Amino acid sequence: MENANQTSKIIQDWLNETDIYLIDQILKNRFHPEMKILDAGCGDGRNLNYFLYNNYNVYGVD
């Protein structure tokens, strides 16, 4: 049960920290690790976390 609670917390944190449009695009498999991704106007880089964690080639500029 502890692992389920930890997993639930991780998912909840990710959903709270990521733009809903980006989540939609990720779930539709619009991004692939071999792509170069530019987040123009990234601010503090909130939406880049998923890509960095999963070893995507990402760049952010604000």
Contact between residue 18 and residue 39 where contact means Cβ atoms under 8 Å apart: no
The pLDDT tens digits of the residues spanning 3-62 come to: 777 877 776 676 677 787 888 888 799 998 899 999 999 888 888 888 888 899 999 998
Total tally of structural domains belonging to the chain: 1
Q: What's the domain range around 38?
A: 2-61
Helices of type H across the chain: 2-17, 20-27, 49-53
d(CA 55, CA 41): 21
**pTM for the whole structure:** 0.61
